[in-house]
Amino acid sequence: MPISLLALAMSAFAIGTTEFVIMGLLPQVAGDLHVSIPLAGWLISGYALSVAIGAPIMALLTARLPRKHTLLLLMAIFIIGNVMCALAFTYQFLMFARVITALCHGAFFGIGAVVAANLVAPNRRASAVALMFTGLTLANVLGVPLGTALGQVFGWRSTFWAVSIIGVISLVALYTKLPEAKNEAPTELRKEMAALRGAGIWLSLLMTVSFAAAMFALFTYIAPILTDVTGITPQGVSWTLLLMGLGLTIGNVVGGRLADWRLSVSLTLTFVLMAALSILFSWTSMYLLAAEITLFFWAAASFAAVPALQINVVAYGKNAPNLVSTLNIAAFNVGNALGAWVGGVVIAGGLGLTTVPLAAAALALFGFAVCFFTFRRAARNATHTAAH
């Protein structure tokens, strides 16, 4: 794998850390800025919505730039946004800074995935995308707990200064290690928009929404399930999240190789495993060892889909890889918000925490149905085309 992929992975690590680390720093942020915890929680929702809305807009605005130059510009915006976060002394300014930071998120991952795939041979593209997204999984395994610890000791602003420094290092690595694309065709906005007309691309994006919803319906509420149902301590929750982070990392790598082998099998199997393990967790959540084992395999199965979903969307929108790949990141964030909402509705409805995994399983089964229909439709179209 080219060393330039490591520069992309480092950038993904920085972006992933700044998105999720705010969760562990909410009490400090709320106290320092004199706002309530629920209001501070909008810093998370605001970021996710900004990613979903800003991703396609940024992809279109930078459409005529070479991809390397676009990634450098997006990383520069990321650095500026994090510096603004570190300097924010009011809630409103911090929210504005989070929105600025989020603008680069979707477009960077979307365009970065296209760049990563083009750095290697066609039969290794999913593995290359998986390596880039390993930075995102490591952000959850290392970046979030370390950033939270740093913010608790030296103040929450120190975390954003640290992420800004990582951003600068990533910017230098991208500039020095990422090759200039030769014979890169200029992007035509009309062609980019035309690629969105087919049903296949929208089914693929719906697949991504379903996956993220199934994942975050459970993941969002994993801490209360572990403490209130499994009965472990808050420190035990941290260790469980670390174990799940290891599962996410392994699943990401294995999923990339499986997708290189057969994309349709990779995605179909992932949705089935997510549903089965979510149902299993509704029972094993009451027993410590069984819960830990189930969550490890659930995390691995879940993140195995990430590189496959990214490659799948680009395959359906090959005439507009920048835009469709970026839209896939937006779809992921829409699913994130949808899944958290579904889990919240289940809890608010008094159905109990052990019902949350069942809701996640239902979303995964819906994703399986979309996946099955999409690939069956593609096979039928391919047969029809060959016959003519």
Which of the pair, 93 or 248, is modelled with greater confidence?
93
Residue 184, pLDDT score: 59
Query: Global pTM?
Result: 0.76
- pLDDT tens-digit series, residues 38-68: 677 778 778 888 888 888 888 778 877 888 8
Q: What is the three-state SS of the chain?
A: CCCHHHHHHHHHHHHHHHHHHHHHHHHHHHHHHCCCHHHHHHHHHHHHHHHHHHHHHHHHHCCCCCHHHHHHHHHHHHHHHHHHHHHCCCHHHHHHHHHHHHHHHHHHHHHHHHHHHHCCCHHHHHHHHHHHHHHHHHHHHHHHHHHHHHHHHHCHHHHHHHHHHHHHHHHHHHHHHCCCCCCCCCCCHHHHHHCCCCHHHHHHHHHHHHHHHHHHHHHCCHHHHHHHHHCCCHHHHHHHHHHHHHHHHHHHHHHHHHHHHCHHHHHHHHHHHHHHHHHHHHHHCCCHHHHHHHHHHHHHHHHCHHHHHHHHHHHHCCCCHHHHHHHHHHHHHHHHHHHHHHHHHHHHCCCCHHHHHHHHHHHHHHHHHHHHHHHHHHHHHHHHHHHC
Report the mean per-residue pLDDT for the chain. 85
- pLDDT tens-digit series, residues 187-211: 565 666 666 677 788 888 999 999 9
Which of the pair, 118 or 318, is modelled with greater confidence?
118
- pLDDT tens-digit series, residues 243-278: 888 888 888 888 888 888 888 888 999 999 999 999
Residue 195, pLDDT score: 63
- pLDDT tens-digit series, residues 102-159: 988 888 888 888 888 888 887 787 788 778 878 877 887 788 778 888 888 899 999 9
Domains annotated for the chain, with CATH where assigned, are: 1-186 (1.20.1250.20), 188-388 (1.20.1250.20)
